[in-house]
Amino acid sequence: MSILVMKFGGTSVATLDRIQRAAKRVAVEVARGHQVIVIVSAMSGKTNELVGWVNETSPLYDAREYDAVVSSGENVTAGLMALRLQEMEVPARSWQGWQVPLKTNSAHSSARIEEIPTDNIMERFAQGMQVAVVAGFQGVSPEGRITTLGRGGSDTTAVAFAAAFGAVRCDIYTDVDGVYTTDPRICEKARKLDRIAFEEMLELASLGAKVLQTRSVELAMRYKVKLRVLSSFEEQSDEAGTLVVGEEDIMESNVVAGVAYSRDEAKMTLISVADRPGIAAAIFGPLAEAGVNVDMIVQNISEEGRTDMTFSCPIDQVARAEKAMQDAKERGEIRFHDTVADKGVSKVSVVGIGMRSHAGVAARMFKALSAEGVNIKVITTSEIKISVLIDRKYMELAVQALHDEFDLDKPAAESV
């Protein structure tokens, strides 16, 4: 029998009624002849509540106990889902991470999956179990302690199980009905995509699209796991949702697949830095050690022998970045005149595998923004992505203008 992995996010299992709805979807797949591995998140809001309890109890908490507490939400959901399936006369059993066992490293609260042995669950399938309901987000360290995979880790759990068990597909059930060309809340012309390439989805996820967790897409791309993103609140069909597949499985696509944005960005500039070999390492090494997620980087010559170094980072990491730079300056590792932070910017990006074979995408993008009076502060490019940093007040206007410029409301065959 074939194995299907189905993952239900927090909103899909937020109440007992929603757990029952999800269980009915699982029962449909069992009736179709699949053995099913269900990965569940904690009920909506529960993980935040548990994290709050930990912080209130112990602000400087032991990460091992943090994992023990926050992983409990998924255990509750797994047990309830298994009970509901049993009530529907579907042979099901819940599994916690240590029971599989899902083996991880020892990096508590941000563990990485190292191995998922299949023997235990496959043995139970052979004995008549039809559904294994696995608590997502959690595993077990080499020391035998519970670990968690970081926020959004249930997506990663699902893809990892699909890879380990050779599943025919991994269905990610969420509160949206697929992957859109951009955020429908910003652009009413946003269109649901039937298919999107792994590379495009990875870029969109890393650039702010919150449909899938970045690590889950990386795993799917590496192990060629076919993903389907669909809503748990709409009628089920074989054509529902969006398939995330290899580039070779997409017959025809738009030059640009989607427009992504990250609202809360900041632009930081180190003014008058010594222009010498190793200066970039001297700047970005301390930033990395401080946990600052640097993205766009631009270097400009300001005067002879000096340079200005500009980079972007999340707005909530500005203070950390400023302190890292000041500490490095006091240690004599770098010299600069001043730091200037602009906290009023956003990042807007166009993404598409079609950009590899089509010239002029950047020119069209810049012309469309210019026509709307949007000034570009920083530009970065890759093979399938162009990102710009602009004033935050123009972000929604920029997203709409680019969506129109690349005809993203039309299927590939109709676009210009």
- 8 a known binding residue? yes
One DSSP character per residue, 316-333 reads: GGHHHHHHHHHHHHHTTS
Q: Crossing angle of helices 198-206/214-223, nearest 10°?
A: 160
- 148 a known binding residue? no
Pick the closest to residue 415 from 240, 260, 252, 188 (CA basis): 252
Q: Return the HEC string of 82-146.
A: HHHHHHCCCCEEEECHHHCCCEECCCCCCCCEEECCCHHHHHHHHCCCCEEEEECCEEECCCCCE
- 185 a known binding residue? yes
- Residue 73 token pair: 């939400």
- 175 a known binding residue? yes
Using DSSP, state whether 51 is helix, strand or coil: helix
- 261 a known binding residue? no
- Residue 286 token pair: 């301390």
Pick the closest to residue 114 from 92, 85, 147 (CA basis): 147
Q: Are 163 and 390 in contact (CB under 8 A)?
A: no
Q: Return the HEC string of 219-265.
A: HHHHHCCCEEEEECCCCCCCCCCEEEECHHHCCCCCCCCEEEEEEEE
- 10 a known binding residue? yes
Q: Crossing angle of helices 318-330/279-289, nearest 10°?
A: 130
- 210 a known binding residue? yes
Strands (E), 166-220: 169-174, 195-197
Cβ atoms within 10 Å of 33's Cβ, excluding its own: 9
- 174 a known binding residue? yes
Beta bridge partners of 36: 4, 131
Query: How far is it, in rounded angstroms, from Cα 181 to Cα 195?
Result: 11
One DSSP character per residue, 322-385 reads: HHHHHHHHHTTS---SEEEEEEEEEEEEEE-GGGGS-S-HHHHHHHHHHHTTPPEEEEEEETTE
Q: Are 258 and 204 in contact (CB under 8 A)?
A: yes
Which residue ranges are tagged as binding site?
7-10, 47, 74, 174-175, 180, 185, 210-211
Which residue ranges are tagged as binding site for ATP?
7-10, 174-175, 180, 185, 210-211
Which residue ranges are tagged as binding site for substrate?
47, 74
